[in-house]
Chain A
Amino acid sequence: MATDPITRGDELLAVRDVKKYFPITRGIIFQKQVAQVQAVDGVSFTVNQGETLGIVGESGCGKSTLARCIVRLLDTTEGSIIFEGRDITKLSRAAMRPIRRQMTMIFQDPYASLNPRKRVGFIIGEALEVHKLGTPSEVKTRVQELLEVVGLNPEHYNRFPHEFSGGQRQRIGVARALAVNPRLIVCDEPVSALDVSVQAQILNLLKDLQDEFDLTYIFIAHDLNVVRHISDRVMVMYLGKVAEVASRHDLYSEPKHPYTGALLSAVPIANPELGRKREPIVLEGDVPSPVNPPSACRFHPRCPRFVEGHCDVEEPPLYPFGTGDHVAACHYPLERWPMSATEMRRGSGAKARSPEEALPA
Chain B
Amino acid sequence: MFRYLVRRTLWAIVLFLVIMFVTFVIFFMAPNNPARAVCGGDQARPECLVLATEKLGLDKPIYIQYSRFIGRLLPVSRPVSFQGGVHLRQPHFKTPSLGTAFATSEELNQTIIKAAPVTASLVIGGAVLWMLIGLTVGIFSALKPRSLLDRGAMVFVLIGVSAHPVWIGLILSYFFGVKWDITPIANYSYFFGAPADSGLPGGPWQWFYHMILPWCTFALLFSALYVRMIRANVMETLNEDFVRTARAKGAPERRVLISHVLRNALLPVVTMLGMDIGVALGGAIFTEGIFQLPGLGRTAILAINNQDLATVQAVVVFATVAILIFNLVVDLLYAWIDPRIRLT
Please choose the segment from B7-15, B43-51, B226-234 that sits at the chain A interface, where 4 or more of its residues have CB less than 8 A away. B7-15
Asked whether A28 is an interface residue with its Cβ less than 8 Å from the other chain, the reply is yes
For B8, the closest partner residue in chain A by CB is: A28
What chain A residues lie within 8 Å of B10 (beta carbons)? 28-29
What chain B residues lie within 8 Å of A28 (beta carbons)? 3, 6-7, 10
8 inter-chain pairs at a CB distance below 8 angstroms, sorted by A residue, are: A28-B3, A28-B6, A28-B7, A28-B10, A29-B7, A29-B10, A29-B11, A29-B14
What's the nearest-Cβ distance from chain A to residue B344, in Å?
Answer: 9
Query: Which chain B residues numbered 1 to 51 have a C-beta less than 8 Å away from chain A?
Result: 3, 6-7, 10-11, 14
Query: Which chain A residues numbered 1 to 43 have a C-beta less than 8 Å away from chain B?
Result: 28-29
- Interchain CA distance A103-B11 in the complex, whole Å: 46
For B344, the closest partner residue in chain A by CB is: A26
- Interchain CA distance A29-B10 in the complex, whole Å: 8
For A27, the closest partner residue in chain B by CB is: B7
- Chief secondary structure at chain B's binding surface: helix
For B6, the closest partner residue in chain A by CB is: A28
For B13, the closest partner residue in chain A by CB is: A29
What's the nearest-Cβ distance from chain A to residue B316, in Å?
Answer: 25
- Interchain CA distance A59-B7 in the complex, whole Å: 33
For B3, the closest partner residue in chain A by CB is: A28
Interface size class of A (residues with CB under 8 A): under 10
Other contacts beyond A28-B7, A29-B10, A29-B14: 5, CB < 8 A: A28-B3, A28-B6, A28-B10, A29-B7, A29-B11
- Interchain CA distance A29-B18 in the complex, whole Å: 14
What chain A residues lie within 8 Å of B6 (beta carbons)? 28
What chain A residues lie within 8 Å of B3 (beta carbons)? 28
For B9, the closest partner residue in chain A by CB is: A28
- Interchain CA distance A147-B11 in the complex, whole Å: 54
For A26, the closest partner residue in chain B by CB is: B3
- Interchain CA distance A28-B8 in the complex, whole Å: 8
What chain A residues lie within 8 Å of B14 (beta carbons)? 29
- Interchain CA distance A28-B14 in the complex, whole Å: 12
- Interchain CA distance A97-B10 in the complex, whole Å: 46
For B7, the closest partner residue in chain A by CB is: A28
What chain B residues lie within 8 Å of A29 (beta carbons)? 7, 10-11, 14
What chain A residues lie within 8 Å of B7 (beta carbons)? 28-29
What's the nearest-Cβ distance from chain B to residue A26, in Å?
Answer: 9
- Interchain CA distance A29-B11 in the complex, whole Å: 7
For A29, the closest partner residue in chain B by CB is: B10
What's the nearest-Cβ distance from chain A to residue B17, in Å?
Answer: 12
Query: Which chain B residues numbered 95 to 154 have a C-beta less than 8 Å away from chain A?
Result: none
For A28, the closest partner residue in chain B by CB is: B7
What's the nearest-Cβ distance from chain A to residue B8, in Å?
Answer: 10
- Interchain CA distance A29-B12 in the complex, whole Å: 11
- Interchain CA distance A29-B7 in the complex, whole Å: 7
- Interchain CA distance A29-B15 in the complex, whole Å: 12
- Interchain CA distance A53-B6 in the complex, whole Å: 51
What's the nearest-Cβ distance from chain A to residue B16, in Å?
Answer: 14
What's the nearest-Cβ distance from chain A to residue B80, in Å?
Answer: 31
Give the 5 A-B CB pairs with smallest separation, nearest first: A28-B7, A28-B10, A29-B10, A28-B6, A29-B14
- Interchain CA distance A151-B6 in the complex, whole Å: 59
What's the nearest-Cβ distance from chain A to residue B324, in Å?
Answer: 16
- Interchain CA distance A28-B7 in the complex, whole Å: 5
- Interchain CA distance A28-B10 in the complex, whole Å: 8
What's the nearest-Cβ distance from chain A to residue B18, in Å?
Answer: 12
- Interchain CA distance A62-B187 in the complex, whole Å: 68
What chain A residues lie within 8 Å of B11 (beta carbons)? 29
What's the nearest-Cβ distance from chain A to residue B310, in Å?
Answer: 32
Binary B-proximity of A97-126 (CB < 8 A = 1, otherwise 0): 000000000000000000000000000000
What's the nearest-Cβ distance from chain B to residue A291, in Å?
Answer: 15
- Interchain CA distance A115-B121 in the complex, whole Å: 49
- Interchain CA distance A29-B14 in the complex, whole Å: 9
Binary B-proximity of A288-309 (CB < 8 A = 1, otherwise 0): 0000000000000000000000
What's the nearest-Cβ distance from chain A to residue B198, in Å?
Answer: 46
- Interchain CA distance A64-B11 in the complex, whole Å: 36
- Interchain CA distance A28-B11 in the complex, whole Å: 8
- Interchain CA distance A28-B3 in the complex, whole Å: 7
What's the nearest-Cβ distance from chain B to residue A221, in Å?
Answer: 26
What's the nearest-Cβ distance from chain A to residue B331, in Å?
Answer: 14
- Interchain CA distance A321-B7 in the complex, whole Å: 55
What's the nearest-Cβ distance from chain A to residue B341, in Å?
Answer: 15
What's the nearest-Cβ distance from chain B to residue A27, in Å?
Answer: 8
- Interchain CA distance A28-B2 in the complex, whole Å: 11
Query: Which chain A residues numbered 264 to 314 have a C-beta less than 8 Å away from chain B?
Result: none
- Interchain CA distance A28-B4 in the complex, whole Å: 8
What's the nearest-Cβ distance from chain A to residue B20, in Å?
Answer: 17
Query: Which chain B residues numbered 69 to 97 have a C-beta less than 8 Å away from chain A?
Result: none
For B4, the closest partner residue in chain A by CB is: A28
What's the nearest-Cβ distance from chain A to residue B10, in Å?
Answer: 6
- Interchain CA distance A334-B326 in the complex, whole Å: 64
What's the nearest-Cβ distance from chain B to residue A29, in Å?
Answer: 6
